[in-house]
């Protein structure tokens, strides 16, 4: 490193000497060209030395983060528990069709990339094709259908059943990545309510 700095200083001094010791009477293009050439050489040398001296980028490594809680979650199925700790844990495991913008209350895509109301009682979602469960299962329209029907089944004691049962008539699989919610009656807060419905796997 010291040797490189010495070379840079020598080049800079040479550039200064050329500028100072040239014929003072000659202020023409030749003297200016020599000065510019020496300055350019010094700049190139400095750049090269700085590049060679820069540390190599660190190799990326897998990192495990351990988070301590003051209790055990009662369940990782957020639809059967209201415990805050359980919800925090399940929120890191389950996705939802939509979510909220962090800066405001705007509903934005999540597992669903887009949606539209075909009429007042039919809401159609178009799903992303790059979403997978932790078991490797791809999230498709039948996954969404299963999730909603699980919540509507009174035997499962879902805390979301009271939200959806009065309004959801059925869930229709249009194709692998398109699913439609057919309503019994209009339900303005449906999108907001779906933000609270984590997607679960049938398996």
Cβ atoms of 161 and 154 closer than 8 Å? yes
Q: Note the pLDDT tens digit of each residue in 174-186.
A: 999 999 999 999 9
Tokens for 58, please give them. 């660190």
| For residues 95-104, average pLDDT | 92
Q: What is the pLDDT of residue 70?
A: 79
Q: Note the pLDDT tens digit of each residue in 16-52.
A: 454 444 444 445 555 555 555 555 655 565 556 545 5
Q: What is the pLDDT of residue 23?
A: 46
Compare 53 and 131 and report the one with higher pLDDT: 131
CA dihedral 104, 106, 109, 114 (to 10 degrees): -160
Sign of CA dihedral 70, 195, 76, 134: negative
Please write down the HEC assignment for all residues of 34-59: HHHHHHHHHHHHHHHHHHHHCCCCCC
Q: What is the pLDDT of residue 79?
A: 83
| For residues 4-27, average pLDDT | 47
How many Cα atoms are found within 13 Å in the side-chain-facing hemisphere of 193?
17
Compare 17 and 80 and report the one with higher pLDDT: 80
Cα→Cα distances 46→3, 6, 9, 49, 162, Å: 12, 11, 9, 5, 71
118's torsion region: left (phi>0), alpha (psi -120 to 50) or beta? Answer: alpha
Instruction: Output DSSP code: residue 155.
Output: G
Other CB atoms within a 10 A radius of the CB of residue 3 amount to 8
Residue 84 pLDDT exceeds 90: no
Residue 3, strand partner residues? none
């Amino acid at each position: 490193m010291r040797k490189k700095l010495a070379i840079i200083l020598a080049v800079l001094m040479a550039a200064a000497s050329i500028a100072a010791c040239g014929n003072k009477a000659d202020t023409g293009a030749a003297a200016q060209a020599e000065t510019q050439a020496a300055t350019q050489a010094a700049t190139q040398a400095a750049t090269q030395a700085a590049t060679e001296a820069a540390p190599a980028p660190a190799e990326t490594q897998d990192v495990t983060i351990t988070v301590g809680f003051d209790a055990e979650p009662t369940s990782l199925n957020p639809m059967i528990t209201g415990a805050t700790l359980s919800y925090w844990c399940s929120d890191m495991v389950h996705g939802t069709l939509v979510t909220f913008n962090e800066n405001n209350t705007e509903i934005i895509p999540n597992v669903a990339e887009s949606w539209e109301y075909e009429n007042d009682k039919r809401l159609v979602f178009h799903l992303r094709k790059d979403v997978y469960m932790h078991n490797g299962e791809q999230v498709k329209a039948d996954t969404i259908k299963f999730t909603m029907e699980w919540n509507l089944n009174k035997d499962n004691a879902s805390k979301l059943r009271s939200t959806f049962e009065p309004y959801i008539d059925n869930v229709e699989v249009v194709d692998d990545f398109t699913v439609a919610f057919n309503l019994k009656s209009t339900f303005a807060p449906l999108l907001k309510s779906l933000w609270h419905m984590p997607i679960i796997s049938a398996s």
